[in-house]
Amino acid sequence: METIIIETLKIIAKSASERIFKSKDRKFKIDYSELESIFNRYLNSVYRWSEILQFIGMESPKDIDTDSIELNFHSIPRRFRGKNDTYTMLLSEKDIFKNRDPYIILGDPGAGKTTTIKRLIRILIREEPTDQNDTYRTPIVIRLREINEKKFKNIYHSMASIIGFPILELDEDTSKNNETPKIIFRGGADIKQTMIDILENSNSLLFFDGLDEVSDSIRNQIFSQIENLSLILQNTKIIATCRSGEYYRNLNGFRVLEITPLSEKQILDIATYWIDNPNAFIKSLKGLPYFDITDRPLLLTNLLFLYKRSGSLPEQPSLVYKRIIRLLLEEWDEQRGIKRISKYSQFDSERKLDFLSSLSFHLTYRIRTKTFSLGLLENCYKNICSAFNLPQDEAEQVAREIETHNGIIIRTGDGYEFSHLSIQEFLAANHIVKSPYSIVLKDYITLFPSPVAIAISISSEPSKWFAGIILNDEIFSCLNENNIGSFLDRLSYELPSFSIDSELGYAIIKLFNLFWSQQNESSNAIIIKLSEFRNVKESILKALHNCLIILKGTESDYLEIKPVWDRTKFPYFKPNEQLKLPKEIFLSLINKNSHLLRIVTE
């Protein structure tokens, strides 16, 4: 198969070269065979480029043909869709070949835009056309990030340079007459007209990958020239890609598609290509709070990479949140050699993390929403922009930069939203854990407990954080059957790294006392699960060493605990406070140090 494809590429190169470079009215000062060889080498490089996908950390590249799946496209991008939109159609890769229209394919960072181009090239070269409009034979790929803004002349010059054709930068005759110098092929042929002839005579499918990756100083020129090129070409189809947030101006005549989030079937299909036990991976993933990030190929494949390397997903979700945030804010562009310059001084990835954390916190707890209008965004932005030295009247511009650079905030038909709820929760938690400890935590737990649970997990001292919440009477008073379940349930997923701490132990006893006595089975089950966390039982035992344990009758299923700690050291303990502890929990704590416990029988 490989040999056949290589021969096909040679035929394409030879056919195009004969029609263009051997034409009688072109007088090139270069051998025709050399031009054919240049074009053939370029087509081979495109084919090789389209074979693989890879990111840092992978032990070896993945094969596009066997390890990637077909993505779907919305016919109307999300920013132009309403809530009840009924006009959007789902299109496939092969639908793109069924007409002569130029396309722009939009997608968030890591959505699969470049991979889609590679798959389209494979279809073009390896498969027979299935539609009468599919007359394209020659893939020409212009990776726009490779264009040097300082050397940029026009899109025709860039295409010729990337292919490798011989170019004279200046036409000496016109320079002598103080006319604008032309950029020409060696031998005198006009580069613009020659490149148009090459595209048209080779029935090209011309890909412009990464409209968002072009330098700001030349972006408008490139947009305009690509738009103009699409109007000139008759036998060539143009397909361009762009991050959703960066598509801010219309290209006349282009149909705009947007890559859809991965479906559960697509997630399973990708997992099947990457690991030996995909069903086990999916099963373990469905029980985790960050399942939602699997709707992007980049984020899913990073999880698969972690799973394949260790045989399981990280025990603590916070490790995944941090990895994904770092990947989106910085590493994904770094891996591909792209440096996106912020228009705001010192608004680097670390400052963006703090800004996004503050914004997420305000939207989560002040406005209580995941989806927000431009008005709400501006309201929150004005409250926090001064802390980040950002202009007060540029909320929309900052949001667009964040969407373009990392896709954590995205534009929708009705406004904006965080791309994933789990990322929003982590960012809000990141703000909480960096803020002064306050009794307002009770409001956070009442309104939305998940970020508080995450904040405990990512804090430097999770035991102290958790104990501080439970042992503070004012905060503890907000806990009830309606919120304790979701708070502790999320905490059980976050698996904080508790240390052995007597205050933590007393906090767990206090929780048992409150909810065990109410016979709330769901809360009891969660608290029992919490007691199984690493170092929790040891912390309970350490707390009991400072308590008087009162054994009730043999038929009683609980015992009473009376703290005897020094109240000057632990002022949150009430005088003569007595708490109940399930006897089964107490018995599970018995160890070689149990003789040190103070136990009395009633």
Give the pLDDT score at 389: 84
Q: Kindly report the CA angle at 262 between 259 and 266, in degrees rounded to 5? A: 125
Q: Is it the case that residue 475 has pLDDT exceeding 70?
A: yes
Tokens coding 357: 């954390």
**Which ranges constitute the DSSP H helices of 412-461?**
421-434, 441-447, 450-458
Of the pLDDT bands very low, low, confident and very high (cuts 50, 70, 90), residue 332 is low
Give Cα 251 distance to the centre of its chain: 27
The reported pLDDT for the residue numbered 521 is: 67
User: Domain 2-259 is in which class?
Assistant: alpha beta
pLDDT of residue 172: 47
* % residues pLDDT > 90 (the chain): 23
What number is the average pLDDT over the span 16-33? 54
CA-angle at 373, arms to 370 and 376, nearest 5°: 85
Task: State the pLDDT at residue 574.
Answer: 67
Cβ–Cβ under 8 Å, residues 501 and 467: yes
Angle at the Cα of 435 from the Cα atoms of 455 and 508, rounded to 5 degrees: 40
Rounded CA separation 322/253 (Å): 41
Tokens representing 463 are 């035991």
The mean of the pLDDT values for the chain is 81
pLDDT at 175: 43
At 151-201, the pLDDT tens digits run 888 898 888 888 887 775 544 444 444 444 444 554 455 778 878 888 888
Residues 120, 146: contact at Cβ < 8 Å?
no
Residue in the block written with tokens 């006349």 = 252
Supply the pLDDT for residue 388: 84
Rounded CA gap, 543 and 179, in Å?
89
CA pair distance 179, 528, nearest whole angstrom: 85
User: Where do the H-state alpha helices sit in 261-316?
Assistant: 264-274, 278-286, 297-310
One DSSP character per residue, 115-172 reads HHHHHHHHHHHHS---STT----EEEEEEGGG--TTT---HHHHHHHHHT--EES--H
Q: What is the pLDDT of residue 333?
A: 63
Please give the pLDDT value at position 182. 44
Which comes out higher in pLDDT, residue 242 or 12?
Answer: 242
CA separation for the pair 102, 254 (Å, rounded): 5
Contacts with 431 (C-beta within 8 Å, 6 or more apart), sequence order:
357, 358, 360, 361
* CATH 3.40.50.300 domain span(s) along the chain: 2-259
**Measured distance CA(521)–CA(171) in Å, rounded:** 86
- The pLDDT of residue 367 is above 80: no
Compute the distance between CA of residue 309 and CA of residue 324 in angstroms, rounded to an integer. 17
Q: What does the alpha-carbon distance between residue 146 and residue 214 come to, in Å, rounded to a whole number?
A: 8
Alpha carbon of residue 369 to chain centroid: 20
- With b for 16 or more beta-carbon neighbours within 10 A and e for fewer, the 345-377 pattern comes to eebebebbbbbbbbbbbbbbbeeeeeebeeebb
Binned at pLDDT 50, 70 and 90, residue 261 comes out as very high
- pLDDT higher than threshold 60 for residue 206: yes
pLDDT band per the 50, 70, 90 thresholds, residue 92: very high
Identify the band that residue 31 occupies on the pLDDT scale cut at 50, 70 and 90. low
For residues 96 and 12, the model is more confident at: 96
Selection from 70-84, 127-141, 183-197, 246-260 with the highest mean pLDDT: 246-260
> Across residues 2-28, what is the average pLDDT?
54
Residue 180: the pLDDT is: 41
Of 156, 160, 138, 163, residue with least CA distance to 222: 156
Give the range among 205-219, 280-294, 414-428, 559-573 with minimum mean pLDDT: 559-573
385-406 confidence digits (pLDDT tens):
888 888 888 887 887 777 776 7
Token code pair at residue 361: 């916190």
Which range is least confidently modeled, 98-102, 294-298, 450-454, 568-572? 568-572
pLDDT band of 124, cuts 50, 70, 90: confident
The DSSP-derived string for 472-493 is -HHHHTT--TTTHHHHHHHHHH
Pairing type for strands 103-107 and 255-259 reads parallel
Mean per-residue pLDDT, 23-47: 69
pLDDT at residue 594 above 80?
no
Q: What is the mean pLDDT of residues 337-361?
A: 75
Task: With cut-offs at 50, 70 and 90, classify the pLDDT of residue 120.
Answer: very high
The model's pTM is 0.80
Task: Give the number of residues written for the chain.
Answer: 602
pLDDT digits (tens, 9 = 90+) for 549-589: 888 777 777 788 887 766 666 666 666 677 888 877 777 77
261 vs 57: which has the higher pLDDT: 261
Structure confidence by residue, pLDDT tens digits, 420-448: 889 999 999 999 998 887 778 888 888 88
Task: Convert the pLDDT of each residue in 519-543 to its tens digit.
Answer: 666 666 777 777 778 898 889 888 8
CB neighbour list of residue 386: distance below 8 Å, 6 or more residues apart: 392
